[in-house]
Chains A and B, each alone.
Chain A
Amino acid sequence: MSNNPFQDARWSRGYGSGRRQFLGRMFHGFGGIALSGLLAREARGASPIIDPLAVKAPAFPRKAKNCIMLFMCGGVSQVDSFEYKPKLNEFHGKRIPHIPKIASGELQGRLTFAHQCVGSPFKFQQHGQSRRYISELFPNLARHVDDLAFIHGIQVDNQNHGPATLHVATGSQFPGSPSVGSWVRYGLGSANQNLPGYVVIQDPRGAPTNGAAVWGNGYLPAAYQGTFLRPTGTPIVDLARPQGVSAAQQRQEFDALAWLNRRHLGDASRDSELEARISAYELAFRMQTAAPELVDLSGETEETKALYGLDHPKTAGFGRQCLLARRLVERGVRHTLLLHGVQIGKDSWDDHGNVKDGMIKHSREVDLPVAGLLADLKRRGLLDETLVVWASEMGRTSFVTGSVGDKVGRDHNGHALCMWMAGGDVKGGATAGATDDFSLCAADEPIPIRDVHATLLNLLGLDEENLTYHYAGRIRRLTDIQANVLRQIIA
C-alpha cells in the first residue's frame, strides 16, 4: 500500500470497479482517513456508494491544496478599500457625469433619480512593487499587496443580501446548491486524519445572512457539508463526553458497541455502510482529542498571537478565526470558511448609514488579522499551498439617492464587487477586470461570479467543467454554465 492513500483513491465519474477494493482497504488499513468524512449514497439510488475521500485526478498540477475563504458579510465598499477612484472626490455632492453604456438597466434606472456622488473619506496610497493603491484603512494588508491579485467589476445577479450571498457562496442565488467548500471537498477529498475536511468559523457575534445555507452541501451528499467550528467553548457540537462519563468509561462502552456491531454485521461484512459506521465511532473518539487540541491556542507564542491581533479586543475576534484557519491548514483541512460580520446591524459591512465610521470599524477588525494570516502562512511555507480568497456578497454604490448628508452611506451595488486572491499559483500584483471611473460597474466586460469560481477551482487543480454532479435532471457544476478562468491572475 502506498503511503499516500489518496494517490490510490483516484476516482472518476461513474462507479469505478475499484470502489469496493478501496473501501475494503480503507477500513482495514488506515481507518483514520475516513474521518472527515464518511460515506454517502449518491442521489441516484442505492447503487453507488460515494467515497468522499476519493480524489479525482487533478486536471492540472497546482501548488495550492487548501483554500481559506474570508467572507465579509454585508457588502464591502470597494471604493473605500481597494479601488482608488479620485473622480469620486472631485464630484462629491454632484451628479455622476458619465454612466457607462454597459451599465445595467437597473443601475441606469437608479441614476435617473436625483443622486449625488459620494467621495471616499479615506486616503489612498501606492504600495509595494506593484504600486497599487490601497486605502489607509488597510495599512497592514497593504504590506502584502505584491502577493495579492485583485478582481474588479465582479457581477452578481441579485443585490439583496440573501441571494447575493448565496450567489458568491454557492454559485446560485437560489438556495439549495452546494457551497464552494463542498465542491472543493468533493473534488479534492480530504488529507486530514482527525478533523472534518471543510470547516466553517462564523463571526462570534452572530450568523450570516441565510445561516447554514452559506456552507451547506446543497444537493451533494451530506458528507460534503461544512462543519461548524466554534472558536470558543466546545469546538464542535456534541464533542464533549456526556456528564458523568469518563474517557475510560466511554472507551469501554465503545468497545462493547463495536463488539455488538461486529456481531450484528456477521456475514453481512460486505455491507460497507455498516462497517463505516463502526469506524465512525472510532474516528469520533479520536476527534474528541483532536478538535480540542486544534482550538487550544496555548501552544502558540505570544509573538504569533500578537501577529493576529489576539492581544487587542478589536482584532481578537477575527484574529482567532484567522489563527484557527492556519492551524486547520496545517492539519490538512481542505477548505476553511471564515465569516466576518453578521447579517444585520452595526457589525455588518452593510453601511447604508455612515460608511466612514462603519468602514473604520470593520476594517480595523480584519486588517491586522488577515495580514497576520498571510505573514504567518508565508513564513511557515504554507502560503504556497494555500489559496486565500477575500470575498463579500457585493460592492457598494459610489452615489446616494437624494443628497449627501452629514453621515453619508453607500447602497448595494451588485455590479462592482471586488475580491482578491493570494497564495498558491496566484500571480501577486496582477489584476483582472476594472470598473469605470465612478466604480459603478465594469469598465468593459463584467466578470460574472462564475468566472471567479472557475478561477478558484482552477487554482486548486480542479477543472470546473469536469467537476460535476448529476442532480434533478441536469449535470450540475459550481459555475452552472460555461465560465472563463481568469488566466491573468494565475502565475
Chain B
Amino acid sequence: MNPTKKLFPLGRTATAAIVGCFLAGCLLANVLHAASAPTNSVVGWPFTPPAEIKPPLVRHADQITNAIDNFILARLKEKGLTLAPAASARTLVRRLYFDLIGLPPSPTEVDAFLNDPDPKAYATLVDKLLDDSRYGERWARFWLDLARYADTAGYEGDPDLPNAWRYRDYVIDAFNQDKPYDQFVIEQIAGDEAEEIMGAGDLPDSKPEPTVALTFLRLAPFTEPRGDASRHEMLSEMTATVSSVFLGLTVGCAQCHNHKYDRIPTKDFYRMKAFFSTVQLQRPLPGDIFQLGGPLPAAFYRKGEKEWAAKLTDQRNAELAEPRSLVAALDKIEDVGKKSDPKISLTPEQREQRSKAKARIRLVEQDLKRLQPVAMSLRHSYGPPFEPGVPETRVLNRGEWDKPGEVVEPGFPSVITGNQDPAPIRLDPFKRWPTRSRRLALAEWIASSENPMTARVMVNRLWDWHFGRGLVATPSDFGKLSGGASHPELIDWLAWRFVDSKWSVKAMHRLILNSATYCQSSRYHDSKAETADPENTLLWRFRPRRLEAEAVRDAVLAVSGRLNPEQFGLPIFPPLPEGLAEEVKYDDSKWATQDGPEGRKRSVYIYQQRSMTMPFMQTFDSVVCDASRDRRQVSVTPLQALAMYNGRFANEEATHFAARVRKDAGESPGAQIQLAFKTALGREPAPEESERMQALMKSSTEGSDAVAAVCRVLLNANEFVYVE
C-alpha cells in the first residue's frame, strides 16, 4: 500500500500528536475527554482508528499466497503451529461453489475445474463465481438476516408487508453489482437525503432505488400504534439496529442505563436517536386495519421490472374475474333465498365454493398490492409550516417514554469520538428544510473512511460468513463482551484494504478466498494444535460447516434438477407439510401455496412470515427475523432428520433425482450409483461405497424405488449438508 495515502486522517492526527508533541497531546486529549464525556479513561481497539499495519514477516514463505496468511501464520507460529496442507481441488471447488453461490457444482463443473491446467484456475473460478448473479442471491441472505427482513409485520394478525420484497431484490442487486459499501450504508440510512440541494425550490422527489433501500429502517416488527410510546419504540429500534449492524456497537443496551460493559452512556443512546427524530412515516392507507403506515412511490427501476409487473398485474386482474362472478352469483342466490318463503339457504357445497372463491380473491388482491410501484419506505418530515419541525429529543429515564429527562442534540457515540459534541448537520443553503439531513449526517459519518468501526465491522462479517466464525466472534458486538478479536491486526489490515478498494466487497472476497488460509484442508489432524487451540480460533485448519437452511433446500433442488432458476420478484410459497398452512393461518390471504415451479425458486425468495417459519427450514436453523441476527445457530435435531428423510419436499425431490439418474445413467446400478454420487457429492463413489449402495438397492423391499432409496440416503448424508 502506498504509505503516503492516508485513509484514516484521524489516525494521521493521532500519529502526528504522538510523534510531534506526545506529552502535550496526551494531556490535552485527556483534559478534553474528561470535560466533555463521562467516558474518561483511554479507550483502545477497536474504538481508535486502525494504524496502517504491515503484514508480519514470517518464515515458510512457501505457505503464503497473500498477506492474510502472514497474519494467520504469525499467530500460529507463536504457538508452534502452522497451516494445514491445502485441500484437494475436488474439495475446493465444492467449497467455493457453496460459499459464493450457495449451490453445489454440477459434475461437469467439477470436471472442468479439475481438468483445467491453468495454474490460475482457482483464482479464475473465484472471479467467475463472483460474476455469477447467483452470488447475490446467496450473499444477500446474510444481509437480510442483519436487516431483520420479513414479509409480515408480526404480532396480532401478522399482517402482510406487501412491498418489503423490493428491498430483498435491492440487496441482491447491491451484492451483484458490488455496490461500494459506503454507498450501501448511506442508501439504507439516508438514501432520501443523499442528494445535495442547492436551490430554494421544492424538495426533489427521492429516486426509486434509495427509496427502496430505506425499507431497511422499517423492517422491525410493528404493531398498532399507541402514540408517543410507539414512536419512541420505533425510533429506538432504528437506533439500536443501525448501531449494531453498521458499527458493531450495542448502543441499544444503553437505552435504560449506561452500558454495563462498554463505555456507552445512556445519553449517547438518545444522542444517536436524535438523528432519527424527523423520521416521518406515510399515514396508513385506507382500509389498513393494522395501521402499518403507507408506502412511498418508487417506480420499478430494475431492468425489465416495469414490464414484468405490468404483465403480471394484467394476468392477476384477469384471474379475478372468475371468482368474483362466482361470489356475486352465489350472493345473489343467497339474497333471493332469504326473501323467499320458506327461506332457502345456500347448500354446504355452495358455501364452500364461495369461501374458496373469496380466499382466491384475497390472495390475488394481495399480489396486486405487491405489484404496485411503491416501496415500504420512509422520509423526513417536510417541516414547518406544513409538517412537524425538529422535535426535542430527551433522555428518557430508565428508557420509559413518559419519563423525559435532559434534552440532547444529535451526536455520535462518545466511545468513538471521545466527546459528546453535537454532530454538525449540514442543511440546505437557505435552511429551508431544517428537518432534512439529520440521518444523512449519521450515515455519512458511519460511511466515512475515518470511522474506526465501519470497515472493521464489515470485513469481520465477511470473514465470519466465509469461515463460520469472525475474527471477532460476535460480529454485531465489538464491545467488551465479544471477548475481543483473535487477530486484531488482520482486521485492521483488511479494513484498510477495504477502504482502499473503494469499499468493494468483491475485492475482499477475492483477497480472502485467494489466501492459503482459506484453502486449507479441514481434514488435517494435529494433536499439538488440538491441545493448544481446541476451538481452532487460530485457524490451523479449515472449519467444516453445515450448510444454512437456504443452501440445503437449494442444493436439494439443484441435485434433483428441479431448481427454478428464475431470479427476483414476488415472494414464493413452497408447499408446507400437510395441514400446517391451515393450522397457522390467520386468514386465507397468507400462504398461497405454490405446488408448481414458481414454488421451487431459490430459498431467498421464500415468503418470510413472522408467525411461522417453514418447518423444513427451521430444522436447519433458519429464522424469520424479529430482530437483527448476526449469525445462524447450528443445531442437530431428530426433527431435522425427520424433515430431510420423511418430509414431502425431500422425498419428492429424491424421486426426481432418481428419475434423472435413471434417465442419464441407464439401467446399470453401478452407473446409477456413480452418477448419483457425482451429482450429490461431487465425487465418484469408492468401490466399497458402490458395493454398499448396490446391496441396499438389491435388498430394497418390493414396490419401493431402489434408486430413490440411494438418492434419499445421499441427500441425508453428512457429506451432503456439510462443506469441508
Contact = CB atoms under 8 A, between A and B. Distances in A.
B211 to A, nearest CB: 26
A196 B693 CA distance: 32
A37 B637 contact: yes
B253 A253 contact: no
Contacts of A274: 544, 718, 722
Contacts of B701: 246, 248-249, 252
A50 B368 CA distance: 46
B717 A261 contact: yes
A39 B636 contact: yes
Given A212-B613, A277-B718, A470 B481 contact: yes
A384 interface: no
A472 B611 contact: no
B128 interface: no
A210 B158 contact: yes
B473 A207 contact: no
B577 interface: yes
Contacts of A210: 154-156, 158, 610-611
A221 B621 CA distance: 8
A209 interface: yes
Contacts of A158: 223, 226, 229
Contacts of B696: 252-253, 256
Contact of A473 (B253, B636, B651, B692): B253
B639 A207 contact: no
Given A211-B611, A343-B157, A281 B223 contact: no
A196 B129 CA distance: 41
Contacts of B578: 233-234
Nearest to B154: A175
Interface string B681-724: 00000000100110110011101110001001100111100100
Interface string A122-164: 0000000000000000000000000000000000001011110
Interface stretch (A60-68, A222-230, A436-444, A454-462): A222-230
A213 interface: yes
Interface stretch (B32-40, B114-122, B627-635): B627-635
Interface in A182-222: 196, 202, 206-207, 209-213, 218, 221-222
A465 B473 CA distance: 25
- Residue with the greatest number of chain A CB neighbours at <10 A, chosen from B476, B615, B621, B626: B626
A197 B23 CA distance: 62
A222 B611 contact: no
Interface string A35-52: 101111101111110000
B546 interface: yes
A227 B621 CA distance: 14
Contact of B611 (A213, A221, A241, A284): A213
Interface string B213-234: 0000000010110100100010
A463 interface: no
Contact of A264 (B154, B252, B479, B719): B719
Interface stretch (A88-96, A265-273, A419-427): A265-273
A280 B638 contact: yes
A474 B253 CA distance: 7
A176 interface: yes
Contacts of B250: 472-474
Interface string B469-499: 1100110110101010000000000000000
A489 interface: no
B352 interface: no
Contacts of B580: 237
A313 interface: no
A273 B643 contact: no
A263 interface: yes
B586 to A, nearest CB: 7
A46 B468 contact: yes
Interface residues of B, number: 96
B584 A211 contact: yes
A245 B233 CA distance: 52
Contacts of B611: 207, 210-213
A211 B689 contact: no
B167 to A, nearest CB: 19
B426 interface: no
Contact of B633 (A43, A160, A277, A288): A43
B639 A160 contact: no
Contacts of A268: 523, 544
Contacts of A473: 244, 250, 252-253, 259, 261-262, 474, 476-477, 479, 481
A381 interface: no
B536 interface: yes
B335 interface: no
Nearest to B577: A237
B537 A47 contact: yes
Contacts of A257: 713, 716-717
A287 B646 CA distance: 12
B288 to A, nearest CB: 16
B583 interface: yes
Contact of A47 (B535, B631, B705): B535
B154 A236 contact: no
Contacts, number: 265
A113 interface: no
A105 interface: yes
A394 interface: no
B712 A35 contact: no
Given A160-B226, A473-B261, A39 B635 contact: yes
A2 to B, nearest CB: 24
Contacts of A218: 626
Contacts of B481: 470, 473-475
B402 interface: yes
B700 A252 contact: yes
B483 A44 contact: yes
Nearest to B467: A46
A202 B583 contact: yes
A291 B447 CA distance: 54
A41 B634 contact: yes
A10 to B, nearest CB: 21
Interface string B576-614: 011110011110000000000000000000000111110
Contact of A211 (B530, B612, B640, B648): B612
Contact of B638 (A211, A241, A283): A283
Contacts of A276: 636
Contacts of A259: 692
Contacts of A166: 155
B635 A40 contact: yes
Contacts of A39: 635-636
A452 to B, nearest CB: 20
- Residue with the greatest number of chain A CB neighbours at <10 A, chosen from B253, B543, B612, B636: B636
Interface string B529-543: 010000111000001
A146 to B, nearest CB: 37
Given A39-B636, A473-B244, A207 B469 contact: no
B583 A206 contact: yes
Given A41-B634, A473-B477, 15 more contacts: A39-B635, A47-B469, A47-B473, A206-B585, A210-B611, A211-B584, A222-B618, A244-B705, A252-B709, A256-B693, A256-B709, A257-B716, A260-B689, A277-B636, A344-B156
14 contacts: A40-B633, A45-B631, A46-B468, A161-B155, A212-B613, A222-B619, A238-B639, A238-B647, A242-B645, A252-B700, A252-B709, A274-B718, A280-B638, A474-B250
**Which 7 pairs from chain A and chain B are nearest by CB?**
A473-B250, A211-B611, A162-B155, A45-B473, A175-B626, A284-B641, A176-B626
Interface of A: 35, 37-41, 43-48, 105, 158, 160-163, 166, 174-176, 196, 202, 206-207, 209-213, 218, 221-223, 225, 227, 230, 233-234, 236-246, 248-250, 252-253, 256-257, 259-261, 263-268, 270-271, 273-274, 276-278, 280-281, 283-284, 287-288, 343-344, 470, 472-475
